[in-house]
Every structure is written in C-alpha cells, then in structure tokens.
Amino acid sequence: MAYRSSDKTRQKKDAKRTAMMQAAVQVFAEKGYYAATVRDIVQAAEVAIGTFYFYFPDKETLFVHLYEETADFLLQTIDQAVRSRTEVAQQISRGIQAYVNIAIYEPAVVQLLLVGGVGAVPSLEAKRSTFRERLVRLWQRPLDQAIDQGTIPDQNSRRVAEAFAGAFDEVVLQLLALPEPEQAAVSAVQELTLFSLRAIAFRGNPP
C-alpha cells in the first residue's frame, strides 16, 4: 500500500511539472523571455507558485531546461522521419515534412528554439550551439550516405547541411508569420524539397 501511495504521489508531481513545462513554452512564445514572469507560468499551468520553486530556482533555469527538452523533441522527430527512408530524396522530404508539421501544430516549440532567449540568456549559448551542431549533423548524414552511394556528386556535405539548416529555419519562420500557415504547408514542403534536391545535384526523380 505504501508503494502505491508513493507511486501516486510521484505521478501527481510529474503531472504538475509537465503542466508547468507546457505552460512555459506557450508563455515564453507569446511574451518573450524578458516579459514572461514566473507568475504568468504558474497561472497558465494552474499550480501554486511554491510548486514552481520546488522544481526550478528561477526563470532562467526553467528556460534553459525547457530549451534542452524542446530541442531533443524536435531533433528526435526529424531524425525518426529521416531514418524511416533509405533514399536521399525521401529522407530529405520526410525530414522537412516533420519539421513543418511541428511548426504548424506546435508553433511555440519552433518560436522557443529559433527566437526565444536569443541574447537574453547567457547560460543558453552553449546549449544553442549544441542544438545547432546536432541539427547540422542530422541533415549531413543522409548527404554523406548519398555521396557514398553515388546518388549525388561529391561535395562538401557539411556546408550543404549548414545551408539546409538555415534555409529551413527561415522558411518555417516565414510560414508561421502567415495568418493561416497550414494552407501553405504542403507547398512549402514541396518547394523546400525541390530546392534541396537541386542544391545537391540529385540524379534521381523527386519524391
């Protein structure tokens, strides 16, 4: 019986922490890092302010932790999409689709990673560099495989992957600035895929 009680208590604590993390993503996306307050977060999460300080000593610690978890979520989602295919055109297309889907259905995630906290949280810079490096390597892997297979000509896959990461981010941000981004999502994926395949001189048929 004691074990069950402990387990239930732990589940309640996890639920409160999850609620705070989800609320914080929205609050930071809507108000920005500077304007957002701890009170805004606990009100959105419907928890007591003491609950916040049970988990986090301050807003910056929460933001950095949230950034890490959000970055992992985005990278894992794109990586799974890329790994679901073996041919470079499909890998790129699926990866872009996964990224755009997150932007459309979880826009606060993209806002947090690409805009939130830029220049505002010094302790975040190392985390941001790590995230960007992992993202570039994610796009570089299918390019290296395609070069080895002879599907695309030999090229500097690192530089191409860096260009992909920057270009995809820019298009996604512009997409989110539209009144109804979901209506332009399909064409955005198609155009980004064709752009990418032309850039790497892909020798096969587009997906």
CB 45 within 8 A of CB 19: yes
C-alpha 44/C-alpha 64 separation (Å) is: 19
* pLDDT number for residue 3: 42
**pLDDT tens sequence for the chain (207 residues):** 444 545 655 566 678 888 899 999 989 888 888 889 999 999 999 999 999 999 999 998 999 889 999 999 999 999 999 999 999 999 999 999 999 999 999 998 888 888 876 666 777 888 889 999 999 999 999 999 999 999 999 999 999 999 999 999 999 999 999 999 999 999 999 999 999 999 999 988 888
Domains of the chain: 1-56 (1.10.10.60), 58-207 (1.10.357.10)
Supply the pLDDT for residue 5.
46
Cβ neighbors of 165 (< 8 A, separation 6 or more) are 132, 135, 136, 139
Burial status of residue 3 (CB atoms within 10 A of its CB: 0-12, 13-18, 19 or more): exposed
Q: Please state the pTM of the whole predicted model.
A: 0.87
- Give me the pLDDT at residue 2, please: 43
Q: Is 7 helix (H, G, I), strand (E, B) or coil?
A: helix
Give me 24's structure tokens.
Answer: 């914080």
